[in-house]
Amino acid sequence: MQFTAQQIATLIQGRLEGNPHAKVSDVAKIEEAVSGSLCFIANPKYEEYLYVTKASIVIVNDSLELMQPVSATLIRVKDAYSGFAFLLEKYNEIISGNEKRGIEQPSYICTTATIGNNVYIGAFAYVGENVIIEDGVKIYPGAYIGNNVVVKENSKIYSGVKIYDECRLGCRVVIHSGSVIGGDGFGFAPLSDGTYKKIPQIGNVIIEDDVEIGVNTTIDRATMGSTIIRKGVKLDNLIQVAHNVEIGENTVIAAQTGISGSAKIGRNCVIGGQVGMVGHIHIADGTKINAQSGISKSVANPNITLNGSPAFEYKSSLKSQAIFRNLPELQQRLLKLEETVQELTALLSIQNLEYKK
Amino acid sequence: MQFTAQQIATLIQGRLEGNPHAKVSDVAKIEEAVSGSLCFIANPKYEEYLYVTKASIVIVNDSLELMQPVSATLIRVKDAYSGFAFLLEKYNEIISGNEKRGIEQPSYICTTATIGNNVYIGAFAYVGENVIIEDGVKIYPGAYIGNNVVVKENSKIYSGVKIYDECRLGCRVVIHSGSVIGGDGFGFAPLSDGTYKKIPQIGNVIIEDDVEIGVNTTIDRATMGSTIIRKGVKLDNLIQVAHNVEIGENTVIAAQTGISGSAKIGRNCVIGGQVGMVGHIHIADGTKINAQSGISKSVANPNITLNGSPAFEYKSSLKSQAIFRNLPELQQRLLKLEETVQELTALLSIQNLEYKK
Amino acid sequence: MQFTAQQIATLIQGRLEGNPHAKVSDVAKIEEAVSGSLCFIANPKYEEYLYVTKASIVIVNDSLELMQPVSATLIRVKDAYSGFAFLLEKYNEIISGNEKRGIEQPSYICTTATIGNNVYIGAFAYVGENVIIEDGVKIYPGAYIGNNVVVKENSKIYSGVKIYDECRLGCRVVIHSGSVIGGDGFGFAPLSDGTYKKIPQIGNVIIEDDVEIGVNTTIDRATMGSTIIRKGVKLDNLIQVAHNVEIGENTVIAAQTGISGSAKIGRNCVIGGQVGMVGHIHIADGTKINAQSGISKSVANPNITLNGSPAFEYKSSLKSQAIFRNLPELQQRLLKLEETVQELTALLSIQNLEYKK
C-alpha cells in the first residue's frame, strides 16, 4: 500500500510544500529514512537531518524555518508530532473497524469462566476454569487460556498463543501468534547419580498494561512468585524471558534476545537483538545494549551503552573491535620490533665489548 | 531406516562396484560424508574427495576412471546427478503417496473462501474471509489462515502454522509447524514521556514459488508495502525476518538467524546459523556468511565470505581469531620487549655518558 | 506464593534455627541464592557458602556443626537432600492432584489410534492414524500427534505441541507448548542452476524416558535414521536441534542454543544459552560450554569447560577476553615502544659512526 503526499496532507489538514505526488510506503525515523519513507520532526534537535534525509515526505511544525533547500516533500501542521500521531490513529481505526466480534463455534469455554462484553473468541480457542476475560478482549482462533488466567480490558491474544494457568494480563496487552506465557521455568536440581530432579515451577507471569509481545516469544513462569513484565514494555519475536525475570516499564527488546533467570532489567532500556544476559543481575534504567552483546554482570549506572560479548562500554568496545581486525598487522609490528631490538642488543653487546677493551 | 548398496543400485539401475551389503542412513556432500553416508559425484572437481571420503556408498558417472583405490562402494550410472535426483524423486513419491486429501471435521472455513480441487484441510484448521486456496494445497490440522490470504497450487501448510491477513503464498511453498507469517513488524514511535506509540503495520508478506520455511520461524509483515521472500529461498527453523526485509532468489539461511527491518539480501546467498544482521543494509548476491556472524553494514561486492561479530572478510577474520587466542602470549612478548628496551635505553644512556666523558 | 520457615519446617519435620517468620519465594543453589531464596546443603564442600549466603532459609543436615554465625534461618533434618526432595514431591503432588482426566470434545482421534487408561486428551487435540497413547498420558488442547507416533506412559504434551509422523516418545517425557518434534531436517542439494532440490527427510525423532523439553523448541527428524534425545536430557526454550543429532543422557541445554546436523553430544554435558555448534562433531561426556559460545570442532577429552566464539578452554578464553578489552592500551604501548626503538636505533647509528671515526 502506498500513500501520496496529497492524500496525507488532506487527512491531517496540513500545508503541502514540494511534490504532491511523492509516495511513501514506510514510516521511519528521520535519521534512518530512505526513499519511500514518511517521517516527522517535532524536536528541533533533529532538524539538521531534514537537509540530508532521503525520506520522501516529512511532517514538520508550521513554524519551522528552512536553513537550506530540502529534497523531501514537506507537510506543515501546527504540531508535527500530533499530526503524525493522528495519522497513526486513523490507520488504527481503519484496521480495528474490521475486527471481529462474538464467539465462533466450535470453541471451548469452561462454564466457570467469566466473559465480558464485546469480546471476540475465535473457533478452536480454549478458555479454562475460572478464567476472567474482560470487556473488549479478542482471543483469536486456536489460542489457549489456562485455568485461573485473567485477561483485562481490550487485550488482544492472537491465534495460537498459549497462556498457562494462573497468569495475569493487564489492559490493552497484545500478544502475537505462537508466543507462550507461563511455561515452566528451567529449574532442575542435579542429583548425585547425574540425573536431575525437576524443581516445581509454581509461580506465574504478570504482564502489566500496554505491553506488546511479538511472535513465538517465550516468557516462563516464576519458580515461586512472579515473572513480571511492567507497563508499556515492547518485546519483539523469538525472545526468551526466563523464570523470575522482571522487565521495567517502557523497556524495548529486539528479536531473539535471551534473559536468564531472576535478572532484573530497569525502565526505559533499549536492548538490541540476539543479546544474551546471565541470571541474577540488575540492569540500571535507561541502559542501551547493542545487538549480539553478552551481558555477564550487573549494570549499576543508568543510561550507559554497552557492546560486545562479554559486553563493556560502547565506545571502548568499538575501539577494541577495530584493533581486533588489525591484530595480524599488530602481531607483525611486534615481530619486527623484536627483531630490531635483538639486533640492537647484539650491536650494543659488541660495542660494549669493544668499548670496554 | 537403512538402505543397502544393492537396493539402491537396483532402484536406479546402476552397476555396483564393491560391497553390495554396504548400508547408508544419511545423505551427505562428498566432502562432509561419514560412515553410513550416501553421496554422489557429478562434477569432476570433487573426484579428489572420492579417495579420502568415509562415505559408505557413492553414486558416480559410468565414465569415471579410478586413479587410486576407493573404500566406498560405488554405484555407476550414466549420469550420477540424474541418478541421485531420481532416487530423491522415488522417496518423495513414496512419501506423498501417503498424503491426506479432503476436508476433516470440525474445521472452520468462511463461506467467502474459495477452495480448489484435491485439497486437504485438517481438523481444527481455520480459513478466514475471502481466502483463496488453490488446487492441491494441504493445510494441516490447527493451521490458521487469516482473511484475504492467497495460497497457490500445491503448497503445504503444516500443523499449527499461522498466516496473518493479506499475506500471499506462491506455488509449492512449504511452511513447517509453528511458523508465523505476517505478524506485526516491531515498530513503535518513542514519545516524550518515555512510552511508545505503536506504528500500525499495514503491509503484508509475499512468499514466492518454491520457498520452504522451517519450524517456528517468524516473518513479519511490512509497515507498508511487503516483506518479500523470493523464489526458491530456503529458511531453516527459528529464524527471524523483520518487517520490509527482502530475501533474494535461492538464498539459503540456517537456523536462529535474525534479519533486521528493511535489510535487502541478494540472490544465492548462503547464510549460517545464529547470524545477526542490522536493518537497512544491502547484501550482494552470492554472499556467504559464517555462523554467529554479526553483519553491521552493507556488502557491496558479490561472492564474498564473511565471518565474525562484527563480521569482515573470512580469511582475515580467521587470522584475527587465531591471534585473539594467543593474546596472552602476545602481551607477554610485549612486556618482555618493554623490559629489554628499557635496559637498552639505560645501558645506552650510561654508555653515552661514559662515551661523552 | 510465599512460604515461611515455620511452614516448611512443619512439612519436612525439621528443627528450626533462627527466624520462624523468614519467607522464601524462590529455590536457588546456595552459591547463587539471594534474599527470599530457599536452599539446601547436602554436600560438605558447599558448607563454606553457608556463612556468606544471602538465602533466607537453608535446609541442612542435622549433624552440621556451625563454624561461624549464619544469617539465614536453618532447618535441620536428618538428610538435607532427602528433605529438600520431599518438599519438591509435596509440591508436585499438590500440582498433579489438579490435573485433568478424560477426553474433551471436540477432539479428533483416528479410529486406528490406541488410547491407554487414565489419559487426558484436551479439546482440539489431534491424534493421527495408528498412534499409540499409553496409560496416564496427558495431551493438552490443540496438540497435534502425527501418524504412527508412540507416546509412552505418563508423558505430558502441552497445548499446541506438534509431533510429526513416526516419532517416538518414552515414559514421563514432558514437552512444553509450541515445541515441534520431527519437522523436516534442513537438507537441500544445490543444483547447477542455483536452485536447490529438497532431500527427503525420511527418518524420525526418538525421545527417551524422563526428557523434558521447554517452550517453542524445535527438534528435526533425521534425513534417514533417527535424531535421538537420550534419557534424562533437559532442554530449555527456543532450542534448535537439527537432523541426525544425538544428545547424550542427562545433558542439559539452556535456551536459544542451536545444534547443527549430525552433531553427537555426550552425557552429562551442561551447555549454556545461545551456544552454536557446527555439524558432524562429537562433544565428549561432561563438557561444559559457556553461554554464547561457538563450537567449531569436536571436543575429545571429557569434563572440559569451553568459552568464546570460536570457543576454546575456559580460563585461557577469559584471559584473551580480558586483554581484548585492553587492546587500545596494548596498541598504545606497542606504538611507544616502536618510537623508543627508533630513537635507540638512531642514537646507536650516530654513536656507531662517531665510535668508528
To the question of pTM greater than 0.90 for the whole model, the response is no
Q: What is the pLDDT of residue C100?
A: 81
Confidence of residue C198 (pLDDT cuts 50, 70, 90): confident
pLDDT, tens only, A251-281: 999 999 999 999 999 999 999 999 999 999 9
pLDDT tens, residue by residue, C136-187: 999 999 999 999 999 999 999 999 999 999 999 999 999 999 999 999 999 9
Instruction: Provide the residue range defining the domain that includes B334.
Output: 327-357
pLDDT band (50, 70, 90) for residue C64 = very high
Band of pLDDT at residue A88, cut at 50, 70 and 90: confident
- The mean pLDDT of B208-234, rounded to a whole number, is 96
Task: Note if C176 is an active site residue.
Answer: no
Predicted pLDDT at C237: 98
A183 in contact with chain B, both atoms CB, cutoff 8 A: no
* Residue A124 contacts B, CB cutoff 8 Å: yes
User: Which is the catalytic residue, given B21, B176, B243, B280?
Assistant: B243
Instruction: With respect to residue C259, please indicate whether it lies within any of the assigned structural domains.
Output: yes
Query: A82 versus C195: which is more confidently predicted?
Result: C195
Chain B residues with CB-CB distance to A179 below 8 A: none
Rg, C-alpha atoms of chain C: 28
Residues B311 and B169 both lie in one domain: yes
Mean pLDDT score, C287-305: 98
φ, ψ for residue B272 (rounded to 5)?
-70, -175
Which three-class secondary structure state does DSSP give residue C83? helix
Average pLDDT over residues B245-256: 98
CATH assignment of the domain containing C70: 3.40.1390.10
Is pLDDT of C55 > 90?
A: yes
**What is residue B81's predicted lDDT score, i.e. its pLDDT?**
83
Is C312 in the B-facing interface, judged by CB distances under 8 Å? yes
Q: How far is B180 from chain A (nearest CA, A)?
A: 7
Residue A218 in domain = yes
Q: Best residue in C98, C121, C124, C257 to probe A by mutation, most A CBs within 10 Å?
A: C124
Please give the C-alpha separations between residue C258 and each of A260, B257, C277, in angstroms, as whole numbers.
17, 10, 6
Number of structural domains in chain C: 3
Q: Which has more confidence, A20 or A94?
A: A20
Q: Does A194 touch chain C (CB under 8 A)?
A: yes
User: Helix crossing, A314-325 with A327-356: angle to 10°?
Assistant: 70
* Contacts with B237 from chain C: Cβ below 8 Å: 183, 186, 218, 220, 240
pLDDT at res. A130: 96
Calculate mean pLDDT across residues A12-37.
88
Please check whether residue A340 touches B, CB under 8 A.
Answer: no
- Could you tell me which chain B residue has the CA closest to the CA of A89? B200
Q: Is B2 on the interface with C (CB under 8 A)?
A: yes
Check CB contact of C199 with chain B, cutoff 8 Å. Answer: yes
Residue A85 and residue A51 share a domain: yes
Q: What is the mean pLDDT of chain A?
A: 93
Mean pLDDT of A305-330: 97
Q: Is the pLDDT of residue C201 over 90?
A: no
* Min distance B242 CA to chain A CA atoms (Å): 9
At residue A318 the predicted structure's pLDDT band, cuts being 50, 70 and 90, is very high
Which amino acid is present at B213? I
Based on the fold, state whether residues B275 and B353 are members of the same structural domain: no
Asked if the C-beta of C36 comes within 8 angstroms of chain B's C-beta atoms, the answer is no
Residue C344 pLDDT exceeds 70: yes
Cβ-contact C99, C138 below 8 angstroms: yes
pLDDT at residue C224 above 60? yes
**Residue that is last in its domain, among B57, B74, B95:** B95
Confidence of residue A353 (pLDDT cuts 50, 70, 90): low
Best interface-test mutation with C: which of A129, A168, A180 has the largest number of C CBs within 10 A?
A: A180
Instruction: Say yes or no: B190 and B225 in one domain.
Output: yes
Residues B23 and B91 occupy one common structural domain: yes
Residue B355, pLDDT score: 59
The closest CB to that of B260, out of A95, A214, A273, belongs to: A273
**How many Å apart are CA B122 and CA C12, to the nearest integer?**
51
| Candidates A160, A218, A323; nearest CB to C237 | A218
Both B273 and B340 in one domain: the answer is no
Mean pLDDT of A136-148: 97
C117 located within any domain? no
* Chain C: closest CA distance from residue B284 (Å): 15
Which has the minimum average pLDDT: B120-129, C197-206, C287-296?
C197-206
**Contact call for B334 and A331, based on CB within 8 A:** no
Provide the number of CB pairs (under 8 Å) joining chain A to chain B. 200
Q: Are residues B265 and B341 in the same domain?
A: no
Alpha-carbon dihedral angle through residues B282, B283, B285, B289, given to the nearest 10 degrees: -170
User: Band of the pLDDT at B31, cuts 50, 70, 90?
Assistant: confident
Same domain, residue pair A187 and A253 = yes
pLDDT tens column, A227-248? 999 999 999 999 999 999 999 9
On whether residue C114 sits in a domain, the answer given is no
Angle between helices C314-325 and B314-325 (to 10 degrees): 110
The pLDDT, as a whole number, for residue C96 is 63
CB contact under 8 A, B88 and C330: no
Peptide bond before residue A190 is cis, with ω within 30 degrees of 0: no
Which chain C positions have a beta carbon within 8 Å of A216's beta carbon? 178, 216, 238
pLDDT value, residue C138: 97
CB contact under 8 A, C214 and A183: yes
Chain C contacts in chain A segment 268-287 (CB below 8 A) = 274, 276, 278-280
- For C251-260, give one letter per residue: b (16+ CB within 10 A) or e: bbbbbbbbbb
Quote the percentage of chain C above a pLDDT of 90.
Answer: 78
In chain C, positions 224-263, which contact chain A (CB-CB < 8 Å)? 232, 234, 236-238, 249-250, 252, 254-256
**Of B287-291, C8-12, C197-201, which range is least confident?**
C197-201
Is the pLDDT at A17 greater than 90? The verdict is yes
Q: Which of C149, C320, C335, C355 to mutate to test the interface with B (most CBs of B within 10 A)?
A: C320
Are C213 and C296 part of one and the same domain?
Answer: yes
| A277 and A332 both lie in a single domain | no
Count helices and strands in chain B by DSSP H and E runs: 5, 40
- Read off the pLDDT band of B45 (50, 70, 90): confident
Q: A200 to chain C: which residues are within 8 Å by CB?
A: 88, 91-92, 95
Kindly state the percentage of chain A with pLDDT values over 70. Answer: 96
Residue-averaged pLDDT of chain C: 93
Domain co-membership, A340 together with A262: no
Which residue shows C-alpha cell 552433531? C263
User: Which residue, A252, B207, B201, A297, is CA-closest to C291?
Assistant: A297
Q: Does B106 touch chain A (CB under 8 A)?
A: yes
Mutation to test the B interface, candidates A237, A238, A250, A326, most B Cβ within 10 Å:
A237
Residue B60 phi/psi, 5-degree rounding, is -130, 165
At residue C97, the pLDDT reads 60
**Predicted complex ipTM:** 0.86
- On whether both A304 and A355 belong to a single domain, the answer is no
Q: What pairs with residue A180 in β-bridges? A: A162, A218
Determine the Cα–Cα distance for residues C241 and B237; give it in Å rounded to an integer. 9
